[in-house]
C-alpha cells in the first residue's frame, strides 16, 4: 500500500474505532493480534526460504519462484522440476494453523504443560504434544559456538523411561520406579553436560550406563574450542578422553569431600544438572526418546538465551549448531 492510500485508510479506520464499544474493541484487538502473529510467523519462515540455495529433493541449485501457496513462497527446481517451500523437509512442514505458532511458542517459553498450552491457545492436547516435539526436533540442535576457556563437564543419570510407548521392551515399573540393580547400569540414560564459565552449555545423551571415553570423543570433542582447560570429577573416562585428545585436564576428587580447588570445580555444571532436574519435574516424567528435546528446550530457556517466541521460532528453523 502506498503512503497516500495508507493515510486515507488510517483516517477512516481511526474514525470507525471511535464508534466501537469496549467489547467490539476487544474483539478487534484479538483479531489484530492473530493477524500480526501470522504475518510475523510467515516473515520468519520466509527468512529461511530466502537463504535456501539448494533443492531439498535433489540438491539442485537452479531454483526459481513458483507462486504463493498457503501464504508461503513456493520455489521450483529446474533439475528435478519438483516444488517446495521454506518448510519442506523440516519437522514443521505439515503443521497448519500458523497463526497459532507464535502464541504456542510463547507458552513453551513459559514452560507450560501440554494440557495448559492446549487450553490457552485452543488446540487439542494431542496436537499440543505433537507440536511441542516438532518445534524441539530442530531447536534441540541450536547449540552455542564452541565452549571456551575453562570448561566443566559432568554426567548425570536418569532411569530410562518408555512413557507413552505402546510396546514396552521390559516389564512395566511402578510409577516413579526404581532400577532393578544398585548403581548406574543399562537402565539409566546418561546425560553429559559441558558448560564454560560464560554459561554456554552443551548437552548430550550418549547412551545408557556409565559414560565411556569413546562416547566423550564423539559428543564432547566437536564442541570444544582449542586450548580449553577441561575440568571434571575424577571419573576415569574423562582422563582417558582428555589424554587421547591432547586436552589440558584437571580433576577434582569430590569423594575426598573437597569440591573446589581454585578454578578447579564442577559447580557450574552441577547447578545446571539440578536446574534441569527441577525444571523437568513439572512434566511428570518424560520418555527417554524425547530426552534430547527437553534438554534442548531447557538450554534455550537457561540464562535468557531465548526470550521471545520469534527467537524460539528462529531457533527451530535455523538452529545455530547445524
Q: Given the complex with Zn ion, which of 67 and 262 has the nearer CB atom? A: 67
- Three-class secondary structure of residue 82 per DSSP: coil
Q: Given the complex with Zn ion, which of 55 and 298 has the nearer CB atom? A: 55
User: What's the min distance (Å) between Cβ of 317 and Zn ion?
Assistant: 21
Choosing from 60, 207, 319, 321, the residue that interacts with Zn ion (CB under 5 A) is 60
- 249 near Zn ion (CB under 5 A): no
- 43 near Zn ion (CB under 5 A): no
Query: Which range in 43-51, 52-60, 61-69, 204-212 contacts Zn ion by CB under 5 A?
Result: 52-60
User: What's the min distance (Å) between Cβ of 76 and Zn ion?
Assistant: 8
- Three-class secondary structure of residue 115 per DSSP: helix
Query: Which range in 38-46, 60-68, 232-240, 305-313 contacts Zn ion by CB under 5 A?
Result: 60-68
- 55 near Zn ion (CB under 5 A): yes
Q: Are 293 and 276 in contact (CB under 8 A)?
A: no
Q: Which residues contact 24 (CB under 8 A, 6 or more apart)?
A: none
Q: Given the complex with Zn ion, which of 55 and 220 has the nearer CB atom? A: 55
- 248 near Zn ion (CB under 5 A): no
Distance CA 51, CA 63 (A): 12
Query: Which range in 56-64, 187-195, 245-253, 273-281 contacts Zn ion by CB under 5 A?
Result: 56-64
Choosing from 58, 93, 97, 248, the residue that interacts with Zn ion (CB under 5 A) is 58
- Give the binding-site size for Zn ion (rule: CB under 5 A): 7
- Where would I find the beta strands (DSSP E) of 55-121? 63-69, 72-77, 83-84
- 89 near Zn ion (CB under 5 A): no
User: What's the min distance (Å) between Cβ of 62 and Zn ion?
Assistant: 8
User: What's the min distance (Å) between Cβ of 89 and Zn ion?
Assistant: 11
User: What's the min distance (Å) between Cβ of 70 and Zn ion?
Assistant: 20
Tell me what percent of the chain is helix, strand and coil, each rounded to the nearest 5. 45, 15, 35
- 80 near Zn ion (CB under 5 A): yes
Distance CA 205, CA 98 (A): 32
Distance CA 147, CA 23 (A): 53
Interior CA angle at 135 toward 132 and 137, to 5°?
105
Place of cell 564454560: 196
Q: What pairs with residue 158 in β-bridges?
A: 189
User: What's the min distance (Å) between Cβ of 84 and Zn ion?
Assistant: 8
Distance CA 159, CA 178 (A): 7
Q: Are 224 and 145 in contact (CB under 8 A)?
A: no
Task: Give phi and psi for 238, each to the nearest 5.
Answer: -70, -40
Choosing from 44, 77, 150, 280, the residue that interacts with Zn ion (CB under 5 A) is 77
User: What's the min distance (Å) between Cβ of 59 and Zn ion?
Assistant: 7
Distance CA 218, CA 279 (A): 27
Choosing from 38, 40, 48, 57, the residue that interacts with Zn ion (CB under 5 A) is 57
Q: Given the complex with Zn ion, which of 76 and 239 has the nearer CB atom? A: 76
Distance CA 322, CA 320 (A): 6
Contact positions toward Zn ion, by CB under 5 A?
55, 57-58, 60, 77, 79-80
Amino acid at each position: 500500500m502506498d503512503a497516500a492510500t495508507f493515510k486515507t485508510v488510517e483516517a477512516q479506520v481511526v474514525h470507525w474505532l471511535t464508534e466501537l464499544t469496549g467489547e467490539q474493541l476487544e474483539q478487534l484487538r484479538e483479531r489484530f493480534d492473530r493477524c500480526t502473529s501470522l504475518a510475523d510467523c510467515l516473515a520468519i519462515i520466509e527468512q529461511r526460504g530466502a537463504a535456501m540455495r539448494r533443492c531439498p529433493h535433489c540438491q539442485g541449485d537452479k531454483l526459481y519462484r513458483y507462486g504463493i501457496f498457503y501464504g508461503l513462497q513456493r520455489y521450483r527446481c529446474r533439475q528435478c522440476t519438483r516444488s517446495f517451500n521454506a518448510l519442506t523437509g523440516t519437522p514443521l512442514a505439515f503443521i497448519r494453523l500458523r497463526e497459532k505458532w507464535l502464541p504456542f511458542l510463547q507458552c513453551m517459553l513459559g514452560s507450560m504443560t501440554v494440557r495448559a498450552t492446549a487450553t490457552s491457545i485452543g488446540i487439542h492436547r494431542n496436537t499440543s504434544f505433537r507440536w511441542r516435539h516438532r518445534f524441539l526436533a530442530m531447536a534441540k540442535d541450536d547449540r552455542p559456538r564452541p565452549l571456551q576457556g575453562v570448561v566443566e563437564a559432568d554426567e548425570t543419570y536418569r532411569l530410562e523411561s518408555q512413557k507413552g510407548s505402546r510396546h514396552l521392551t521390559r516389564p512395566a515399573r511402578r510409577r516413579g520406579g526404581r532400577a532393578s540393580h544398585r548403581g548406574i547400569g543399562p537402565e539409566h540414560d546418561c546425560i553429559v553436560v559441558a558448560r564454560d564459565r560464560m554459561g554456554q552449555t552443551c548437552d548430550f545423551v550418549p547412551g545408557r550406563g556409565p559414560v565411556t571415553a569413546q562416547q566423550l570423543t564423539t559428543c564432547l570433542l566437536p564442541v570444544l574450542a582449542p586450548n580449553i582447560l577441561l575440568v571434571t570429577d575424577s571419573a576415569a573416562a574423562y582422563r582417558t578422553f582428555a589424554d587421547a585428545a591432547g586436552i589440558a585436564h584437571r580433576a577434582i576428587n569430590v569423594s575426598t569431600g573437597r569440591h573446589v580447588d581454585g578454578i578447579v570445580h564442577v559447580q557450574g555444571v552441577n547447578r545446571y544438572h539440578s536446574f534441569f532436574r527441577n525444571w523437568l519435574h513439572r512434566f511428570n516424567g518424560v520418555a527417554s526418546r524425547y530426552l534430547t528435546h527437553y534438554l534442548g528446550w531447557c538450554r534455550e530457556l537457561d540464562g535468557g538465551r531465548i526470550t521471545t517466541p520469534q527467537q524460539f521460532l528462529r531457533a527451530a528453523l535455523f538452529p545455530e549448531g547445524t
